[in-house]
Amino acid sequence: MTDAPFSQTRQNPLHGILWMLLSGLSFVGVTGIVRSLGTDIPAAQSAFIRFAWGALFLAPSLLGVMRAGMPKGVLGLHLGRGVLHVAAVICWFYAMARIPLAEVTAIGYLNPVLLTLGTALFLGERLAARRLAAIGVALVGALIVLRPGLREVTDGHLAQVGAACLFAGSYLFAKRLSALVGAGQAVAVLSLVVTLGLAPLAWAVWVPVTVAQVGWLALVAACATLGHYCMSRAFAVAPVAVTQPVVFLQLVWATLLGALVFGEGIDPFVILGGAVIVGSVSYITWREAVLRRSRAVLPPE
């Protein structure tokens, strides 16, 4: 069964909000499970097991890609994206085991901001003054979360900032691939390339794992897949201006989970900084939607 194209899907903002809520809870489930696994498994090994499960889940799609083949020049884009994604997930798994859930979530909100900046720097897209100002506001939000000079910025914080930058780079490749191949191929090939890329890194640091640990990482892969699916459904039935602000609740869930399950303190600066970043991201996505609509109604020259 395939999802209907966006233009053929009935718009329902309430359903969009509910899908986005479920997406946020799924991603908080991912962070919670990885946090509970702690530092017993090296980051590269944890990431490899998680993506190996993902590749197994997507095996039918991968078989379809192999049968159909790829357009000329696409393989290099897949490999380039895979290299960045490998580095990103290692940084993310490393950070996840070392800093509070709320801080990982808040810093992760920088991904779409950095992607917007990257499209201007590397893909030649024009950034108006208002969008540049929104990017500046988001960076201020990141400084509120990190507060360098006022507290210790650990290697876990730096790893999560690096993950945000690397994920943004991966999404730049995805943006280019979206014009050449379908979403199914992009996701399936990414899962395979990242698994293969992580394999030698995981082997170099491999430690014995239990059946339970492997099972928990399978659940991580399932939650991540569900999160992305729910997000896609939310975007299909409601405008981004409606669904984007709901993303902030992911920080609320992460904060509550960290406090109630892991005994992490509630840091008001992290909440404030995350809200600033989400507000900036919401404005950027709203402006992009407005610009797309305005271009769509312009008469042909």
* Residue 134 φ then ψ, to 5°: -65, -40
pLDDT in tens, 89-131: 999 999 998 999 999 999 999 988 898 888 888 877 777 788 8
pTM of the model: 0.85
Q: What is the rounded average pLDDT of the residues 266-287?
A: 89
- The two structure tokens encoding residue 223: 């939650």
In the chain, where the domains are located: 6-294
Among 5-9, 217-221, 255-259, the range scoring the smallest mean pLDDT is 5-9
Helix (H) or strand (E) holding 261: helix 248-261
CA pair distance 203, 45, nearest whole angstrom: 7
Burial of residue 154 (CB within 10 Å: 0-12, 13-18, 19+) is: middle
